[in-house]
Amino acid sequence: MEEYRKNQELELEISALGSSGEGIGRTREGFTVFVKDALPGDRVRARLMKVKKQYAFGRLMEIISPSPDRVEAPCPVARACGGCQLQALSYEKQLAYKENKVRQDLIRISGIENPPIEPIIGMASPWRYRNKAQFPVGRDREGRVVAGFYAGRTHSIIPQRDCLLGAEVNRRILDIVLGYMEQYGIAPYDEASGSGLVRHILIRCGFSTGEIMVCLVVNGDRLPEEGMLAERLREIPGMTAVLLNTNRERTNVILGHTVRTIWGKGYITDMIGGVSFQISPLSFYQVNPRQTEKLYGQALEYAGLTGQETVWDVYCGIGTISLFLARRARQVWGVEVVPQAIEDARRNAALNGIENVEFFVGKAEEVLPEQYEKSGLRADVVVVDPPRKGCDAAVLETILRVRPDRIVYISCDPATMARDVKVLGNGGYSVEKVRCVDMFGMTGHVETCVLLGRK
**Residues carrying an active site annotation:** 412
List of residues 6+ apart from 242 with CB closer than 8 A: 213, 214, 215, 229, 230, 233, 234, 261, 262, 263, 264
Distance CA 298, CA 410 (A): 10
Q: Nearest-5° angle of CA 205, CA 129, CA 226?
A: 30
Provide the H-helix boundaries in 82-211.
91-105, 169-183
Q: How far is CA 184 from CA 161, 170, 198, 226, 443, in A?
A: 20, 21, 12, 10, 38
The dihedral region occupied by 74, where left means phi > 0, alpha psi between -120 and 50, and beta the remainder, is: alpha
Residues 241 and 255: their CA atoms lie apart, in Å, by: 17
Residues paired with residue 452 on neighbouring β-strands, in sequence order = 407, 431
Q: Measured between alpha carbons, how far is 180 from 348 in angstroms, rounded to an integer?
A: 35
CA distance 347 to 336: 15
CB 132 within 8 A of CB 287: yes
Q: How far apart are CA 442 and CA 288, in angstroms?
A: 13
172: left (phi over 0), alpha (psi -120 to 50) or beta: alpha
